[in-house]
Structure 1
Amino acid sequence: MPIVRRIGSAFIGALFALAVIGAAPSATLGAAPEATPGATPEATAAKTGDIIGEMHDYVTWNPKEDMLDIARAEELGLIELMVANPGVDPWFPGPNTHVTLPTMHILPDARHVGIVINTAELRLYYYGAEDGPLSFPLGVGRDGYLTPVGSTKIVRKKDHPSWYLTASEIRDHPELPRVVPPGEDNPLGEYAMYLGWPSYLIHGTNTPWGIGRRTSRGCIRMYPEDIEWLFERVPIGTPVTVVDQVVKLGWKDGELYIEVQPSTKQIDTMEETSKSPPPPEPLPLAQEADHILAVAGEDVPRLDWPAIEKALNERVGYPIRITLAPGPNEQANATNHP
C-alpha cells in the first residue's frame, strides 16, 4: 500500500497558478462515452461485495493540524473530508476535535476491471490488487476543463516526465518556458500514465493540497505516494473508465446503502471560500426512486424511506444504510414464499 507522509510545501509564481488549476488542456474527444450499465438482477441478488472500507473516527491532538494533513494521512481528499464534517473549521479544527473519516466507499456502477474513476466523488478505483479493489483520492478538472467521461486505456507510462505546455497554457502564461523539465517545479510530479485521449494523463503533483478538489485543467492528479504505487503495478493497456455518478447504491451483508455526493456548486463554493460546506442542494426523491426500487428488488418493503430522503437532502458523501431489519412477519413470509 502507499506510504503516507505529512505535507508542508510551498510553491510560488506563475507555476503555482498553473499547478493549482492543473496541467491538461481542454480537448475535443473522438471517442463516445460508454454507457453506464444498469443494475442487473444477478448483481442485485448477490447483495454483497459492493462496498469497500469502513467508516472511522479521528480525534485531533496537534493544534497545528488541519484537514489537509488529516486527509493525506487517511487517503482522503480535502473536499470529501470537509463535506463529512460540516461545522468543523478545515484550517483550524483545534485539538480534541472529533473528525469523521469517510473511508467507506460504494463501488461505482461500472465494469470492475482496470481503473474506474468517478469524477463526482473525486476518487479512483483500482481493480488489479490481490486483496480486492482499492480507492484513492484525486484532483480532477474544474468548470471549463472538465475531465471527460467515457472509456479509454493506459497507452504510455513515463517516470520523471517533462511538462509540455499546451497552446492555452502558453496563452494564459506566456512568461513560462514551453517545456518544464523533471523536478520540483514540474506539476506532473514524478510519474505520469498517458491515456488514449490526447493530452489527458493520470499523474502526480508538486502541489498535493490540490488532491480531492476540482482544480485541474482536466487531468487526473494523485498524491505522490499514490501515483508511485499505482505506476509500479498498472501495465500499459489497462482499461480506464471514467464516470460521473453522484448517487451510488450498493449492498453489504444483505443491507442496501446509498452514497450521495455534494453538487458541483457546493464543491465550487467550498473551493472559493475555503470554509465548511454550505447548505446542500437536496436531490428530489422522485428523481432517484426508480433506481432505488430497481436495486432493492424483493427487498423494497424493507426500504427506509425517511433515511433515503435524509441522505438525498444532506449529501454527506459516504454510504448510509437505507434498509430496515426484517421483522418477524417479514421473515415468516420470506420463509413461506413459494
Structure 2
Amino acid sequence: MRRLLPALFLILAGVSTASAWSPVRYAESLLTDGSPAVIGHNRDYVVGSNETLMEIAVKTGVGFDNLCRANPDSDPWHPQVGSRLILPLAFLPPDDLITGITINLAEMRLYLVWSEDGQRRIRAYPLGIGRDGWETPPGDFRVTRILRHPSWTPPPSLRKEKPDLPAVIPPGPDNPLGEFWIGTSAPGIGLHGTNQPFGVGRRVSHGCLRLYPRDIRDLVTRVKPGMPLRILNQPVKISVRASNLYLESHAPPLNPEPLPATVPMDRMDIHRAILAARGIPLRFSIQN
C-alpha cells in the first residue's frame, strides 16, 4: 500500500512588508515546461501591536480573504501580537491559463502572462471581485482601452441603490476607480485601481475588478488594447509532478473533478485539504 504524507508547502522568510505581486523575486517569474509546480514562495509576517488582518493585507499586498484563509486560527480583527502569519504568495497556476490576463474568481487573483526577451513570464495580483447579486461574469474577452485618471459614471442600478451619488465623479481622491481603468469587452466590466484598498481580496464590487493602486500601476505597463482576457472559476487546482501531488483549494467545489486515476493515494487526506480551503499550495508525497 502507498500512503500519502502531507506537507505544508511553506517557505518562511521573515519580512516586514512584501511586494504587491507574486512571485516576489523576478527570477522566479519565468514560465517554462520545466517550471516548478508551485510559483513563488509563501512568507511570514509577525503581528505588531493593534494590527488587524485587514491592515496587514493592505500593508503586505495580499488579498484580505486569502490572508484569512491561510491563517484560520488567527482572529482577523484581534490577532495575537507577536504571532506569525503566513503571507499567501505562492500559487499553482490555474488550468486554461492564457498568454494575457487570466482571472480566477474562486481565488480572487489576476494572472498576467507576457513575453519578455523571448521568455514567458507570470505575475499574480490580488483582486476585489463582484459581490452577491453583482457577480463578475466568466468568459473569454479582450482588453479594449486603458485610461489614466478616469471619471466614473455610476450605472443607473447603483444610483437607484444610492440616490445621493452624483451622475459623474471626476478624477481625484474621491473616485473609486483610482488612477487607472482597463476597459474590457465584458459588458460593464473593467479592471481598475481603488481609493478603498481594504476592498481588495474581497467580494465587494458591483462586478468590476479592483486592484491595489501599486498593482494597477505595474499592470498597465504590460497590458495593451487587444490583449486576451479570460475569466474563470476554478476553486481547486491540482498538479502532479513525479512522486508529488500539489493541491491548492480556495473553496469546496459543488462538483469536484476526480483526482488523476494514475496516482494511487489515500483520498481522505486530499478530501480534508479541499474542505479546509486554506488557499495555499500543499504538497502530498507518495511513498511505498
- Range of TM-score over shorter length: 0.7 to 0.9
Conservation of the 8 A alpha-carbon contact between 1:48 and 1:251: no
Q: Secondary structure, in 3 states, of the residue corresponding to 2:39?
A: strand
Measured after TM superposition, the shift of residue 76 of structure 1 is: 1.2
Q: Which amino acid aligns with 2:271?
A: E
- Correspondence 1:1-338 to 2 at 5 A: 49-60=36-47, 62-128=48-114, 130=116, 132-251=121-240, 255-262=244-251, 287-288=255-256, 290=258, 292-293=259-260, 297=262, 300-301=263-264, 303-325=265-287, 327=288
Q: Tell me how far apart the structure 2 counterparts of residues 253 and 220 of structure 1 sit (CA, whole Å).
A: 37
Q: Secondary structure, in 3 states, of the residue corresponding to 2:81?
A: coil
Q: TM-score, normalised by structure 1?
A: 0.70
Instruction: Give 5+ residue unaligned stretches, structure 1.
Output: 5-45, 264-282, 328-338
Measured after TM superposition, the shift of residue 90 of structure 1 is: 1.4
Name whichever structure is richer in helix by fraction. 1
Q: TM-score, normalised by structure 2?
A: 0.82
Conservation of the 8 A alpha-carbon contact between 1:48 and 1:254: no
Q: Deviations over 1:18-49 (max 9, x none)?
A: xxxxxxxxxxxxxxxxxxxxxxxxxxxx6854
Taking a change above 3 Å as real, the CA distance of residues 156 and 254 of structure 1, as seen in their structure-2 partners, is farther
* Structure with greater Cα Rg: 1
Q: Secondary structure, in 3 states, of the residue corresponding to 1:308?
A: helix
Instruction: Give 5+ residue unaligned stretches, structure 2.
Output: 1-17, 21-32
Q: Tell me how far apart the structure 2 counterparts of residues 139 and 129 of structure 1 sit (CA, whole Å).
A: 26
Conservation of the 8 A alpha-carbon contact between 2:142 and 2:226: yes
Q: Aligned-residue CA RMSD in angstroms?
A: 2.2
Q: Deviations over 1:135-183 (max 9, x none)?
A: 1100000111100000001001100000011111221222221000000
Conservation of the 8 A alpha-carbon contact between 1:65 and 1:94: no
Q: Secondary structure, in 3 states, of the residue corresponding to 2:114?
A: coil
Q: Tell me how far apart the structure 2 counterparts of residues 210 and 86 of structure 1 sit (CA, whole Å).
A: 20
Moved more, 310-319 or 174-183: 310-319
Q: Tell me how far apart the structure 1 counterparts of residues 60 and 266 of structure 2 sit (CA, whole Å).
A: 31
Q: Deviations over 1:172-218 (max 9, x none)?
A: 22222100000011000010100012211000000000000001010
* Matched length: 256
Identical-pair percentage: 38
Measured after TM superposition, the shift of residue 73 of structure 1 is: 3.4
Conservation of the 8 A alpha-carbon contact between 1:188 and 1:204: yes
Conservation of the 8 A alpha-carbon contact between 1:47 and 1:251: no
